[in-house]
Each structure stands twice: as C-alpha cells, then as structure tokens.
Structure 1
Amino acid sequence: MTSLFDAFDLAGLKLANRIVMAPLTRNRSPRAVPLPMTARYYAQRASAGLIVTEGTAITRQGQGYADVPGLYTAEALAGWRTVTDAVHAQGGRIVVQLWHVGRVSHVSLQADGQAPVAPSAVQANGKTYVIGADGRGGFVPTSMPRALDAAELPGIVQDYRRAARAALDAGFDGVEIHAANGYLLDQFLRRGANRRSDAYGGAIDHRARLLLEVVDAVTTETGPGRTGIRLSPVTPSNDLSDPEPQPLFEYVARGLARHDMSYIHVIEGATGGDRDYRQGLQAFDYDALRAAYRDAGGRGAWMVNNGYDLDLAQQALASGRADLVAFGRPYISNPDLVRRLREGLPLADADRATFYGGGAEGYVDYPNVEGSIQPA
C-alpha cells in the first residue's frame, strides 16, 4: 500500500517522501528580499519531500502584500540563492511559487501609487497587508483596480517567463504557477472578477486563455517536468466566485494536459476552511477534475491540499486520489512535521499573532520534538 512516507519520483526529481510543505505567506522579506533567517526557516523544514515557497511576486506590479519576497531584483535573487543552497545542504527539494496578485493589492505597494491591475475594474471585497507610517503592519481594504488592456497581457506572460528563468538561475528545483486563491490568473478564470468581452473574457476558453498562455511560456522556459500549478476551483478567497466551476476547471485541466507539467496542486474546498464548500448548484467533483486531466493525457503528479491530517492523507494516497499531499499551517510550528507524522507524535500549536510580519519569533524559533532548534 502506498504510504505518505514512501519516496517519490517527481518528473525525475527524487523526493524523500510524499509530504509537501505548502506555500505560507509570512511577510518577512523587506524590500522583497529574503533575509538570512529565511534560509534558516526553509532549511529547518527540508525533511519535507518538497517545499513550495511562499508566494513570490514576479514583478513590482505583482506585489500585493508588504514584505513578501520577489524575483525581480538582483538582491532578491541573491537572497533566494542562500535559501536554495541551505535547503539543498539539508537534502531537501524546493520550488518557488510564481505570484501576481492582480487586484488584491493596495496603491501604497504599487510603483508611483498606481492602481492595481485586474481583468476588469471590479474591486475585491477583501483586505491586504501593508506597513503603516509608524512602521507597524496591519490589514487594510484592497484598492480599486484598473482593467488591463489586452495589449498589456503579452507583457505579463513574459514577466512570468522571466521570473521562471530567474528562479532556476537562483537554484530552485522548479516553479509553481499560482493560479489559485483569487489572484490574477484565477481572476481571469472566474466570472466574479472577469467582466471582459474581448478574447480574454466571456466564454470559458477565453477566460482560460491567459492562464494557458502563461503555462506555455513558463514550461517552454523551464523545460520538461519543472513546472507545477496551483488551482482552487471553488475557494471564495479574496472575494472570488464562479457559478459553474466544474466545466471551467475541467477545461483548464484538459489544457494543462497538453504541457509536460510536474504536478497539479489542487485546493479542495475553501482555502484554509470548509473542505465541502461549494459554488454553484452542485458539489465540485474533484475525481472528475483529475479524470479530465488524465483522460486528456496529463502525466503530472496530482497533489491535494486543505485540511489533511495523517489519516486523510493516507486514504487519499491508498485510493489513488493523490500522489502527493500538501500541509500548510502545521508546518509553521512543526519544522519536523514529517517525523511527527511518521511516529505519531503530537503537533505543536502555532502562535497566530506571529503569522504575518515580525522577526525570528514565531518564525525560526519553533523547536523539533526533542526541544532543540535545527539547523544550529
């Protein structure tokens, strides 16, 4: 029987187990530059079969939260090189999540105080994280976005391509395209944010066009089996919705099958919440989504996420519903999560007050099960 602790061949990348550390925004990269403690944070968690980094902006325009990292300056890339070197020194594998937040941003985070960009000028009913004049971080409503002109979209596709190349040059084992949780590519997909009437709006194939153009550009740049993608078919995160997610995401899955993807990372239900959350009249059929991808020839690994514990993860693997299982918040306070799950040890609780922003506290000071903090 397949176990969570079995090794796995991810398109030629050898993983020690099938446990994935999911992306976790921590807001500890001032000026979009990962700090030395970022390298320690990820190295502490390198026993995961695969680490997917926190969302990392492909450009200044793609920034939506204060003190999140980027891939668009020499300083940021040098910071990321220390991270990848540290993870590899511990025997780990790490990919970076390519992020453009679209409308989920604030004018204070954009160059020259410009409006964030979106498929349509529809403001998200949500909040983002900024640093105030007093130097303290906090959540504020997102700003009103402007609609992207169709002539701008090829440039955004190339921004993803350049970021993917920069990531590989910084030592990452691959990239994950963030097309979930209400950010730019997800905004184009779903009708709650996309009110366009051109070639990038309206019918499903039009709304999926930008995502598939990005996938084509990134996979061409990275080469075979080095690109994954994250999808969240029904999550309401960042005020996003679609009345008919099943045909939309099955179309996307079939489109992804035409590319040599490393994996498909699917958030089941509402991100960080109800696994049975639905949009539209019917419950979303995740088995049908996977079947659409496989029937169209897709060979990438199938990664599941959202509320998994050891028993649910083992069931998903044993049934063939998944090849890999991603764990998010447990990794904040359990750097040795793999060992704790394998040996049935209790999980440490996390301090929610230190999730976003700050320094070492609540970031690199969680001990392993013996009480020590590694690496030293």
Structure 2
Amino acid sequence: MENRLLLINKRAEVVQEFLRCFEHEDFIIDVAMSGVEGFERLRDTEYKVVVTGTVFHDIDGEKLLNYIAKNKPETVCIVYTTKLSVAQVAYLTNRLHVFRVFLRPGDYRGEMLTGIQEAFELYDVREAEKEIEKEERKNLEMQKERFDEMRQRVMEREEADTLLLRIFEPILNKIVESGDDLEEVERAQLLSIERQIIAQYMKENQQPVGGLGTVEVKLRHQFFEGFENRRLRVQTGSMVIQLNQSFVDSVYMCIWLLVRRITMLTKSFQTDVTIDFETSTKVNVDVRFKLPDGVWQEEENRALSKKITAVHEQVVRDLCSDFIRKPEDGGLVYHMLLDSQKEVVFDT
C-alpha cells in the first residue's frame, strides 16, 4: 500500500503551509477542508496516516477522532491544533489512541516531519504484525525476529520515556501561567520543574496502572519505600464494579501529582487516601496529608513555591469535575471528584 496521508483542516493557510513544506516528500497528501469532507474521504479511501485539527465548522472534532479510532483503527492519527491542556492531551492519547499531538505554529521540517515518518513506519509495523499472525507456524520465528526489530525501532528509544515525552513536548511551557510576579531566574526554575513533572511521570508509568489495587502498590514503590518517616494508607470502597483502564490511570495520576508535590516540601509526612467509587464512571477521592509543623505555612509565604504547587494542582483540576483543597489541623486535605464522562472541550 502506498504512503498516503489525509490532511483535515478548515484553515486554508494551514493547508497551504503543509502542502508547500512536504511537496517533495515520498508520500501522497490528500486534503479535506471540513469535517464532513474528512468523513467522506476516510470512507472511500484507505489512509496510513491522518493529520487533523480538533475544531470544525460543520461537525464536532471529537466525533471525527472517535470515528477514526473506532472505524479506522489501523490508521495512525496525528492531531495538529492551536491549543490543548494536559488533560486534553491525555484524553486524546489514552482514549482516542492519537499517536502525536502538535501545536501551531508547528516545526514542519523538524519534529512534525519526524512524527509523520514514524507514523508511516508504525502503520507498516502493525500491518507486519497482522501478516505474521496469518503466516504458517514454520515461518513464525523468522518473521517474528524481523517484526521485533521494526517494532523496537519505532516503539523504543535509547531512553524508555522518549516516545511518550514527544507527545507532550509541543505543549511544555504552555501550562504555566505568565508569572508576572516572578524574577527571570525563578520563572526558569518553574518551567524546569514543569518539564520534570511530565518527564518523571511518563518515565515511571510506561505501563498502565492496572487494577485499583495496584494504585497503593505503585504509590508505595515510588514514594514511600526506603523512607522511615513516610506513611501511606489507601482505603477503597467495597463496591464490585468493572473499571475502565484509562479511568483508573487518571485517578492514579491525580494522586501521584499531589504526593509528588509534598515530597518536594518535606521528607517526613503521612498520607491517607480514600477512593470511593459511586459508579463505574464516577469516583470521589480524598487525599489527606499530615505534615511537620510550619511546612505548609512556609510554602504559602513563598511566591515561587506557590507557583510550583499551582502547576501540580492545575493538571489535577483539568482531570477532575470538582477539586477542593483546604487546610486541616496538622496538614491539608484534597477532595476530588473524577467523572470519566466529563467532556473534553477543545478551544477554537
């Protein structure tokens, strides 16, 4: 199958830039200027790669992405849009299996070209896997070795976290508020910490969390083992329900971010986590921290420290339907309501 790419974008200037930058590359580009036209082309033609925006005049961009995920699972999807939050990126990559996310204005000849080339290669890898499954058993070992080499070249890099970090790279430095009350050095520190948050999470969580019982195991391994002055207790409700994997990942990420922030303030603390599922799609999470005297008060009095806390908490807010933080005697408590049915709204 030839390397054919479909560009779906309502903006004529974006289409012109895209075609001009890639006119000499070894892949064919078809264009759809609306969501409906994109649907029609996807229905009539097989594409290895789709590069699409998230906002259209005629249809909801999320519906288009859902259609690709459900009806064209073999097609590798790249999103190119103007603005996204971390929560929206997580939604696209976890729920809709988007391969890359790029923000305008993009580096066409750099990271975007690399992303498109890797998308074509990933498509070929997936097709190779299907062919392997169809072939006779006597050829399995030879084909499997070749496939493993291809898969390793696409899905692994020298660092285990590089592939996932590339998803987030285009939006780094856009999460933090302007921080007008900070000195230039403090602002640089804040942006560095922002990068560390995402880099550390993606490095430590290459694999899905798994069942709800794994939440405590992973938290204990990452933050509490080897620290005599740290305590963790996790309580879960007794309701027996089938949970969506990506929903459990979101719950874990919220708790992970809050615990990580506390570890930056003090080496000694106690954490009590209560996870209470109302339904399979809605959960209440309470995270209580007992801290040494004066730790939180000192944090509240430093502008940079408050900004660092704000970076952690803003990502959690984006993932929650309700988010409350309040001081408590000897520490503080966070209350979060997560709803897997929460809509992710894309900006125009």
Please, what TM-score do these two structures have when normalized by structure 1?
0.26
Bigger relative contact order (CA 8 A; separation at least 6): 1
Q: Greater share of helix residues, 1 or 2?
A: 2
